[in-house]
Amino acid sequence: MHAKGNCCCSFDDYKLTTEWLLQQTHHRPKVAVICGSGLGLLADGAANKKTFRYQDVPNFPVSTVTGHEGSLVFGTIDGTSCVFMKGHFHLYEGYSLCQVTFPVRTFKLMGVESMLVINASGGLCDDFKVGDIMIIKDHINLPGFAGQHPLFGPNDERFGIRFPCMSDAYSKVLRRLALEVGAELGCSDIMREGVYCMVSGPNFETIAEARMLQILGCDSVGMSMVPEVTVAKHCGLRVLGLSLITNKVSLEYGREEKVHHEEVLETSKMQSEVLQKLVTRLISRCQQESINTH
């Protein structure tokens, strides 16, 4: 039922999962939302929900991290059909990158056009505060530099071209929209824009590593999301990335505070209501924008 090990996923695998889901629900999602640590509550604003546990979906991996509920939720927001991932997958769980990104290609085959990825990250930028929401304008894929890349291997032209351009991985239109919606909700004081860096984890960064990332121009750092964004861009999906700053990364050796996962989950819980309002309005406006530009 579930893919194991480092095997590559075939087009038939994606097709089987897609067909199974389409048979199980009447929803035909146009927007996919991937929710990170402690952020699964974002799906609660959807109406007419249909929920599947990951372990019940053919070929889906299973979430093993605290704060990742591990369910796929279909529903509607302001008339827009959506699919929410309450938790996603990581390299450090032992999954291959084709497994980590498996849902994205499935969503593409289901007819999804736009994808919102929302995760938790540590703030590197001196101006960032815990609880800020960073609109991702670009990323650095450190595992990709080290040879762990979701597009390695034979390219399947049914999904996208061999050498996709990543200079515009995050839609300028959706980033502008996120800033507008944030202003409408009175959240401008916690909205930021910046560069996100992915490391493989599962340990938090050393001080020397954090200082290096800051020198490289990274504003925040986390252990997820870039593989999904890369595959989404390869598939031709519009992408918006939001990162909740759940902690300040240690940059000084004299600092006594130590980052821990419980802190990440607590901050996610505190800001879940703000994020839910932001995402709900974004989905509605995102679909309107898509209709107006076609």
Give dist(CA 72, CA 282) in Å, integer.
Answer: 20
Average pLDDT over residues 251-267: 70
Residue 13's CB is within 10 A of a number of other CB atoms, namely: 18
Give the residue carrying structure tokens 């990158």: 97
62's enclosing H/E stretch is none
Position 38 scores a pLDDT of 62
CATH, range 11-249+257-292: 3.40.50.1580
Measured at the CA of 206, the angle between CA 35 and CA 96, to 5 degrees, comes to 45
Q: Helix, strand, or coil here: 58?
A: coil
Give dist(CA 188, CA 278) in Å, integer.
Answer: 11
Checking if the pLDDT of 125 tops 50, the result is yes
Give dist(CA 283, CA 43) in Å, integer.
Answer: 12
Q: Please report which confidence band the pLDDT of residue 1 belongs to, taking 50, 70 and 90 as the band edges.
A: very low
pLDDT in tens, 8-33: 789 999 999 999 999 999 999 999 99
Give the HSE-up count for residue 198: Cα atoms under 13 Å, Cβ half-sphere.
26
For the chain, give every domain's residue range. 11-249+257-292
Q: Which two tokens stand for residue 169?
A: 């991985």
Look up residue 9 and give its DSSP letter.
P
Contacts of 281 (CB under 8 A, 6+ apart): 181, 184, 185
Checking if the pLDDT of 69 tops 90, the result is no
Q: What is the pTM of this model?
A: 0.90
Average pLDDT over residues 125-131: 93
Give dist(CA 199, CA 215) in Å, integer.
Answer: 15
Give dist(CA 229, CA 217) in Å, integer.
Answer: 19
Measured at the CA of 138, the angle between CA 171 and CA 200, to 5 degrees, comes to 125
Cis preceding-peptide flag for 61 (omega within 30 of 0): no
Backbone angles phi and psi of 97, in degrees to 5: -70, -25
| Alpha helices (H) along 131-221 | 142-145, 172-184, 207-215
- The closest of 124, 127, 159 to 140, measured between CA atoms, is 124
Residues marked as catalytic: 37, 68, 90, 92-93, 120, 223-224, 247, 261
How many Å from the N-terminal Cα to the C-terminal Cα in the chain?
39
Position 93 scores a pLDDT of 87
SS3 content of the chain, % helix, strand, coil (to 5): 35, 25, 40
